[in-house]
Amino acid sequence: MLVHEWTLVTFGKVLSLLTISILLISVLFSVIVYLAKGDLASDITVTLPDYEPVDWQSGLAGHIEFPIPEGLELNIDMETFAATSFDASLPTLKEVHASGDLQVGTKVWDWYLWSISRNDYGGPKATMTLRALGQYCEIWVQDDLRFPFNETYNDPRNNYPLNFTITDEMCQYLAEVFDNIIYPTLTMYFGVPLDREGNRSRLINSSYPTAPENWWWIPAPGHGQRVIVKVLNYRDENYYNPAYPYYVAGFYSSSYTITYYDRNMVHLDCWQWWRRLGPAGKQWFSDRPDLAVSEDRANLYEATLAHEYQHLIHRDYNRNNPTWINEGCSDYAEMLCGWSHTIWGHVNAFLATPDNSLTVWNDQGSINNLADYGAAALFIVYLSDHYGGAELIRSIVTSGIPGIPGINAALQRFGYNVTFDDVFRDWRIANLIHSDTPGEGKYNYKSIDLGKPPARPIKTYCVHGLPVPPTKGTDFGNTITELGYDTDVSKIREYGTDYIVLRGWPEMGLITFDGEDGKNAIVTVIEAYVEKKGEIKYVVSDIELSKPVLTGAQRTFTLEPNYVILAISYTGAAGWSDYTFAVEVVPTLKATVVVNSNSLNLKSGGNWVTAYIELPKGYDVSNINVSTILVNFTIPVDFSAPSTMGDFDRDGTPDLMVKFNRAEIASFIFNNINIEDKSTITTLRILAT
């Protein structure tokens, strides 16, 4: 291996060439003591988990209930409804439909609330009351929010009613947030949902018995954009088991929205609004100054409402979009509305397991579902940051083209000469180094900072020393989630990434990589140089491999980087995949190289940079394979120019003249090296075999 180093001093735009010598909120739950006491337990405390919100699709949600009307016996509904007390001063829904609007305080019997509570002790908790009315939303709250109880058992949470108390002030606040922040922001980014006024409800247009006037139909004549926000004590695993650490904070159901109610609708859980609604420090109960919104739960329900409302919009425009795009847009919706802190649990779950596939939902099982959200969120943020912002994201959603083809179509529509795979390649490097250089910012984010808390470092595997025997990706063991669960998965799926850090090389190493047959592996090489002040400069380059063509493709590194990272991914429909890499010790030979110019001026009209390579005595330059000569592993010899043997310096030792494309060298420097106003010393290397 022939090695030569080429040092440049940079002055602004002129590069002087000197003569040279050779990266739902998933914090681990902690046990706390709730102090939100009510009259039933004025001097009692109960130790419970600090419930973590999770998606209903996650295995962490446990058993969930999504009833549908078909197949349910409704003959008892009339009796239940007849026993319900309604305020006679308020108009019936029939009168509301005739007059055209609702009044705060209206109480209705709701089919969904009845269906999930029909077997509750003491009878169904089937009514709800309109507690706030906005321009674009109606906040309805289930009237009985208690947890399970019977003759012999009372859920301990019922002794702390403030934990499920929803005040009028809270509802009015949420209505104003929806009208002023969520609705205008998300309709701008993702599109305006369809108008739904309730007149196509299957619950009405069905063969069910004729219903009393305050039935489940909640019409909105002339207000098709108004969203029903239904607040309830949701029936998940946590509802029945107070020790269960996870709960569903909210959900959107297309069946309930489109089919059964014909109203735009989102559901929210009722747990601890005093601690999870509003900014940190907000106090909802004036007589309880000890109860305030906490830093770690601030704005949770506003963000959940934004998240679920994006799903509603997305369903109207692109119903077949894969889950990862839809969920990525919903996490991004939380950020757009100003609550970026609410998605860090998802982001950190992904950074802990970056081998989790971007495009295959639950590829590592539902126990790592939070990482699916984090990957999707970061990718949508990255797309928006670098490729057109709101207009591009809206185009992806509203085009109706699902999946990767929809992203490619949007990129093409906005004039970007890149594909999804190109963006993925850069995105996975941004997750690792999150640096503006090299790449003029493409390896970083604009909207978030992965380089400081609350972001955690991305997961890497470190291999120290030389040689490195043949090592498989599966040799690093199973992926462990941020919450400590073993996924029982050691391979990677398409669009997941393993990061391998190679350190401690006392001499040069030759890296050999083999991917699986017939699959497209992308291996990106990141060289990291640690500066005196602790700053890291990176050089990024690719090896694109397809084993049938390039089996045993090799990459050689010098000792200069403090470490080297391999970012290994598969694209396309690779399925579960493994890979093998190894590092051999490579003997090196230092050569002398003289360049014919002491400056590289970007404004110069010259075509080439000419170098003369001379080997130590006893070695013949004619044995150098010219096709292997590279500047910084990237820029090859320009074969359109002559390469000749001679004795340029007339010292009696033969040398080899080669030429490099001047524009390619200049482009490499500006794309990979931080050029400052003051002089900067840069070392380029020439290697060959």
- The per-residue pLDDT for range 95-125, each reduced to its tens digit, is 665 565 678 988 888 888 988 998 888 878 8
pLDDT for the residue 31: 32
Q: Render pLDDT for 148-206 as a digit per residue (tens, 0 to 9).
A: 999 999 999 999 999 999 999 999 999 999 999 999 999 999 999 999 988 887 776 55
pLDDT for the residue 554: 53
The pLDDT mean for the chain works out to 82
**Residue 431 token pair:** 């997750």
Q: How confident is the model at residue 588 (pLDDT cuts 50, 70, 90)?
A: confident
Residue 20: pLDDT over 50: no
Residue 386: pLDDT over 60: yes
Do 478 and 488 contact (CB within 8 A), yes or no?
A: yes
Q: How confident is the model at residue 680 (pLDDT cuts 50, 70, 90)?
A: low
Which H or E run contains 8?
strand 2-11
pLDDT for the residue 75: 41
pTM: 0.80
Percent of the chain with pLDDT over 70: 79
Q: Render pLDDT for 2-13 as a digit per residue (tens, 0 to 9).
A: 444 443 333 232
Q: Which residue has the higher pLDDT, 668 or 142?
A: 142
**Mean pLDDT across the stretch 409-425?**
97
Most confident region among 271-280, 520-529, 575-584 by mean pLDDT: 271-280
**Mean pLDDT across the stretch 402-424?**
97
pLDDT for the residue 591: 79
Q: Rounded CA gap, 656 and 642, in Å?
A: 11
Q: What's the half-sphere exposure (Cβ side, CA atoms, 13 Å) at 296? A: 12
User: SS3 letters for 483-525?
Assistant: CCCECCCCCECCCCEEEEEEECCCCCEEEEEECCCCCEEEEEE
pLDDT for the residue 551: 32
Q: Rounded CA gap, 216 and 261, in Å?
A: 8
Q: Render pLDDT for 601-635 as a digit per residue (tens, 0 to 9).
A: 655 667 888 888 888 888 888 888 888 787 776 78
Residue 449: pLDDT over 90: yes
Q: How far does the chain reach from its first CA to its final CA, in angstroms?
A: 5
Q: Which residue has the higher pLDDT, 524 or 93?
A: 524
Residue 442: pLDDT over 60: yes
Residues 6 or more apart from 148 whose CB is under 8 A from it? 120, 121, 155, 239, 240
Q: How confident is the model at residue 318 (pLDDT cuts 50, 70, 90)?
A: very high
pLDDT for the residue 527: 84
Residue 65: pLDDT over 90: no
Q: Which value, in Å, is the radius of gyration of the alpha carbons in the chain? A: 32
**Mean pLDDT across the stretch 329-339?**
96
Percent of the chain with pLDDT over 90: 52
**Mean pLDDT across the stretch 305-320?**
97
pLDDT for the residue 676: 56
Q: Render pLDDT for 460-486 as a digit per residue (tens, 0 to 9).
A: 999 998 899 999 999 999 999 998 999
Query: Which amino acid, 107?
Result: K
Q: Work out the burial of residue 11: count CB atoms within 10 Å of its CB; fewer than 13 is exposed, 13-18 middle, 19 or more buried.
A: middle
Q: Render pLDDT for 663-677 as a digit per residue (tens, 0 to 9).
A: 888 777 777 665 554
